[in-house]
Structure 1
Amino acid sequence: MQFSIRIARRYLLAKKSTNAINIITGIAVLGIAVGSAALILVLSVFNGFEDLIATMYSNFNPDVKVTPAQGKTFAADTVMLEELLALEEVAAVTTSLEEVAFFEYKDNQDFGTLKGVAPNYEKVVGIDTTVREGIYRLKDGEKDFAILGLGMRDKLNVNVGDPFTELGVYMPRRSQSRGMFSRQLQPFRRRYIYPGGTFVIQHEFNNEYVLAPISFARGLLEADANEVSAIEIRLQEGVDSRDAVTQIGTLLGEDYEVKDRFEQEAAFLKLMQIEKWLSYAIASLMLLLVSFNMIGALWMIVLEKQPDIAILRSMGALKTTIRDIFLAEGVLLSLLGLGIGIVLALGLYAAQKYIGLITVPGNFIVEAYPISLRFTDFVTVSITVIAIGFLAALPPALRSMRVSALIREE
C-alpha cells in the first residue's frame, strides 16, 4: 500500500501532458474545498444556535425541574425543600406556580401564562440578567410587581415606566362552595399588579410569560401556602445533571417527574438536531455531485498513464496494486481539497465571529448569526469528504485494472 501511495503522490504533483486534465483536476479540488468549507460552516452555525438557545434556556429553565407525575400542582413543604438542599449536588432550590391567565392593561387584553416565583428565583436561573426595560423586582414593600416577556408587553402595549397604571390579571375561581348565582356573577378572580420590567429570552417565553411573586399567584388561584407547580433546582458547578436527576428522583420517589434542562425542552432540541443533520445531508449531496469532476479527472489520468500502468504490470505489479494507486490518488485529491476547505472555513468563521459578516434579519436577540466550531465537526467532515473521494475514485480505479501488461501499437 505504501508503494501505491508513493506512486499516487507522484501522479498528483506531476504536471499532466494534457492541460485539460490540470484544469479538470483543479476544478475538482476547488469544488471539494468549497464543499468541505460549506459542511464545516453548516455545522458551526447550528452549533452556534445550540449554544445560544442553551444560554437562553438557562435564563428561564433551571438545571433540574421537579413536577408532579399526575396533576398540575403538589405540596412542597419545608422538609422536602430542605432535603433537596441537603444533597451535595444541589446549590439552590426555589419554587414556582404557573397557570394560564387573562391579562388586561387599559384597553388591551390577551391570554398568557402567569408564573409565580419565590423571592430567590433569580438565584436558580439567570432571569435578572435578561431584563431589558425596568428592573428585576417582584416586591417593594407591600407592592407587587410583574416582569413581562417582551412579546406580552407589546401585545398589551404596557408602559413599564408608568407607575400609576396597573396590570389586571384574571383567573377562573377554584372554589365550588359558592352559590350558583354568585358564580355566574363573578366566575373569575381578579387582582392587579404593577408592571416592573420586561425580559427578553426566547420568542416562546417572551410571548407567553408574565412573572409575579408566588404569593400573588397563590392568591389568584386560591392555592394553599405551600402549593407549587414545580420545584426548580440549580446544581453545583461541574455536577453531571444526569447523576443529579437520578439522585433527586430516588429521594422524591415515583410521584414526581425529574427532568434536566435538555429534557425540559426535549421536543424542540430534537427538532433542531433533525434540522442540523438534514442540512448536513443536503450539503453532502451537493459535494457528492461536485465529486463527478474528480471522476472525470481521474479517468483522464488513467487514460494518460496507460503506458506507465503497462510497465508496472510487466514488472509484476498486481491488478490490485494498480487499483490502489488510483484509489489513493482520489483520497489524496480529497485531502488536498479538504485542507484548503478547512483554511477557507476558518477564515470565514473568524470573519463571522468577530466582524459579523452575515447579520440576522428582523428583531432578534443577536445581530449576527452565532457560530461555534467543535473538533467533532472536523472529524465528521473529514470522514465524509474522504468517503466521497474514495467512492469517486472507485470507477477509474476499477478501469485501471483492465489495462494489460503490453500495449499494442496501432
Structure 2
Amino acid sequence: MYFTFAWRYFRARKSTQAINVIAWVCVTAIAVGAAALIIILSAFNGFEDLVKSLYASFYTDIKVSAVSGKVVEFTPNQLSAIQKVPGVAHYTRIAEEKALVQNGDYQQFVSMKGVDEAYQDVTGVAGKMFNGKFNTGTADAPGLVLGAGIENSLAVNADRNMNPLTVYMVRRTKSNTYNPMDLPLPGYANTSGAFLIQQDFDNKYVLTNLDFVRRMMGLSENQYTALEIKITEPGVEDKVKKALSTLLGDNYKVQTRFEQNQSLFSIMQLEKWVIYGILTLIMIIAAFNIVGALMMLVLEKQKDIHVLKALGAHDGYIRKIFLSEGILLAGVGTLIGSVLAIALCWAQIQFKLIPLEGGSFIIDYYPVKMIPGDFLLVVLTIFTIAVLAAWIPARKAAKMEVSLKG
C-alpha cells in the first residue's frame, strides 16, 4: 500500500516543474553512481583474475617447505604417502638457490630453480615460453630456461645460444650452512629457451635441472628446498593442506597459493574496497538529491497528508509512504545504472573498446569480470543510503499537524 502511494507520487505530474526536474536529477545521479560502482568493481575483478592467472602459471596450488632453514628432507616413503593424499594430483621436487650467471662481460644475480621432470605437470611455465623450448636437460648437461628479463640482461638468444653460461653458486656445508670463506663453485650450462609470464618472474628466475642445482648446492640424498603440489580440483586446498600438515608434522610448512602470495592478494583486495568506499562517499553526496526531492514533494503533498491523517492514518504510515518514495527513486536509478553497467561491461568483454595504454602489458585492453555478488552489494549500499536520505523528509511529513483549511 505504501508503494502504491509512492508510485502514484513518482508518476504524477507535479504542480511545480522543479520537483519533476529534481526527481529525475536524483534518479540520474543514482544511475550514474550505480553504474560506476559496478563497472569499477568489475574492472578490479578482471585485473584480479588476470594477476591470479599469471601467478598461477608459476606458483603452485600448495607448497611444502621447511619451517626453519631452507633445506627440507623428503624420503621416498614420504613422497609415496604424499601422492596418496586425497586431492593431490601431482608433485614436483624443487631445489632453489641464489646464483650468479655470467655470459662473457654480462652477469646477473638470479634465483636458480632446479626442477624435476614432473614440473610441467604441476605448473604452466612450459606454456609461457617466449622462445626456444622448455628443456632443463640432465645433471651433466643442464639446460637453462631463462626469464625474458634475464635473457635480455645477459644479452643472449636463449633459443640459439652456442656458448654455455657460467653459473656460480655457494656450496652448503654438511650442517646446511654457508661457509663465507669458500669461493662459489662454477658450473656450466647452455640455454634452451625463455619464458614470459610477469616481470616478478621474468626478471628473477632461471629454471634448470634439479640434480644439477642439488649438486651445486651440495645437498645430500633426499634433500630439497621445497615440494610443489598440484591439486585435483579447485576448492580442496584447505583439506589437502590439513592432510599434509598432519602427515608430515610440525617441521614442515604447508602453504596454499594464497598464503604464498598473501601480501599481494591482500593489497589487491584492499585497493578494491578503498575504491568502493570512495565511490560510496560519492553516492552519499548524490543522495542529497533524494533529500531535496522529497522535501519539496512533502511540501506539495501537504493536503494529501492532512487528508490521510484525517482518515485515520498514523504517523508511521505517512513516514513509510515517503520512505517508499525515496526507495523508489533509488530503485529506478539503480535499475537504470545496472542495465547500463551490464551493457558497457558486455561491450568491453566482446569488443575490447577501452585499450590499456603503454603497450607493455600481457593484454592490451581493460579486463572485466562481472560477479553477481557485486550487483547485490551495490543494491544493498544504495538501498541503505536511500533509506537514510529519505528518513528526514519522511519524518517531517509524519510530524505535520492535521489541517484541512483552504
> Mapping of 1:113-262 within 5 angstroms?
113-139=111-137, 143-175=141-173, 187-237=183-233, 240-262=236-258
The alignment partner of 2:338 has SS state of helix
Aligned to 1:396: 393
Hey, what's the Cα distance between the residues in 2 that align with 1:50 and 1:85? Answer: 31
**Letter paired with 1:368:** Y
Q: Is the 8 A contact 2:90 2:122 kept in 1?
A: yes
SS in 2 for 1:28: helix
**Matched residue type, 1:80:** Q
Quickly say closer, same or farther: Cα 1:248–1:140, change in 2 above 3 A.
Answer: closer
The alignment-based identity, stated in percent, is 38
Q: Which aligned pairs between 1:82-93 and structure 2 lie closer than 5 A?
A: 82-93=80-91
1:239, distance to aligned residue in structure 2 (A)? 5.7
Mark the CA change 1:384 to 1:183 in structure 2 (over 3 Å): closer, same or farther.
closer
Q: Which residue of 2 aligns with 1:323?
A: 319
- The amino acid that maps onto 2:298 is V
Question: Which TM-score applies when normalising by structure 1?
Answer: 0.93
Is the partner of 1:173 in helix, strand or coil? coil
Deviations 1:140-159 (A, max 9, x none): 79532111122222333332
RMSD: 2.0
Equivalent of 1:37, from 14, 35, 49?
A: 35
Alignment check: 8 A CA contact 1:9 1:332 kept: yes
The separation in 1 between residues aligned to 2:229 and 2:171, in whole angstroms, is 30
Change (3 A) 1:57 1:183: closer
Q: Deviations over 1:39-79 (max 9, x none)?
A: 11121112112222222222111111101111101122222
Letter in 1 for 2:336: I
Q: Is the 8 A contact 1:91 1:236 kept in 2?
A: yes
The one-letter amino acid of 1:174's match is R
Which blocks of at least 5 consecutive residues in structure 1 are unaligned? none
2-structure distance, mates of 1:176, 1:385: 65
> 1:57 aligned to 2:55?
yes
Q: Does 1:380 align with 2:377?
A: yes
Distance in 2, matches of 1:173 and 1:138, equals: 21
Q: Deviations over 1:202-236 (max 9, x none)?
A: 22122211111111211221222322111111111
Secondary structure of the 2:384 match is helix
**Is the partner of 2:370 in helix, strand or coil?**
coil
SS in structure 2 opposite 1:87?
coil
Find the aligned partners of 1:240 and 1:176 in 2 and give their Cα distance.
Answer: 38
TM-fit CA distance, 1:408: 4.6
Task: Show the 5 A alignment for 1:259-338.
Answer: 259-338=255-334
Aligned positions, number: 402
8 Å Cα contact 1:58/1:126 also seen in 2? yes
User: Structure 1's 93 and 307: CA in aligned 2 closer, same or farther, altered over 3 A?
Assistant: same
Q: Unaligned 5+ residue runs, structure 2? A: none
C-alpha separation between the residues in 1 aligned to 2:368 and 2:129?
24
Shift in Å at residue 356 of structure 1? 1.4
Runs of 4+ in 1 over 4 A off after TM superposition: none
Residue 24 of structure 1: aligned partner: 22
The letter for the 2-side match of 1:345 is A
User: 8 Å contact 1:89–1:239 — kept in the other structure?
Assistant: no
Whole-angstrom CA distance in 2 between matches of 1:286 and 1:10: 29
- Conserved in 2, the CA contact under 8 Å of 1:28 and 1:291? yes
* Structure-2 separation of matches of 1:190 and 1:354: 52
Amino acid at match of 2:217: L
For the 8 Å contact 2:138–2:211, the answer to whether it is kept is no
1:323 to partner: Cα distance: 1.0
Contact 1:94 1:118 (8 Å CA) reproduced: yes
Tell me which amino acid in the other structure corresponds to 1:305: K
Post-superposition offset of 1:267: 1.3
Render the CA deviation track for 1:294-337: whole Å, top value 9, x for unaligned: 21111111111111111111111111111111111001111101
The 1-side partners of 2:187 and 2:153 are apart by 19
1:368 aligns with 2:369: no
Task: Kindly state the Cα deviation for residue 389 of structure 1 after the two structures are TM-superposed.
Answer: 1.0
More moved, 391-400 vs 218-227:
218-227
SS of 1:139's equivalent in the other structure is coil
Q: 2 CA distance for matches of 1:208 and 1:373?
A: 34
Distance 1:176 1:81 in 2: 23
Greater CA drift, 276-285 or 197-206: 197-206
Asked whether the 8 Å contact 2:89–2:231 carries over to 1, the reply is yes
1:345-387 Cα shifts (integer Å, max 9, x gaps): 1111012111112222231111112111111111111100111
Residues 250-271 of structure 1: CA deviation (Å, up to 9, x unaligned): 1111110111111111111111
Contact (CA 8 Å) 2:140, 2:212: kept in 1 or not? no
TM-fit CA distance, 1:166: 2.5
Question: 1:358 corresponds to which residue?
Answer: 354
* Secondary structure of the structure 2 residue equivalent to 1:400: helix
Output one character per residue of 1:259-294: Cα deviation in whole Å (capped at 9) or x when no partner: 111111111111111111011000111111111112
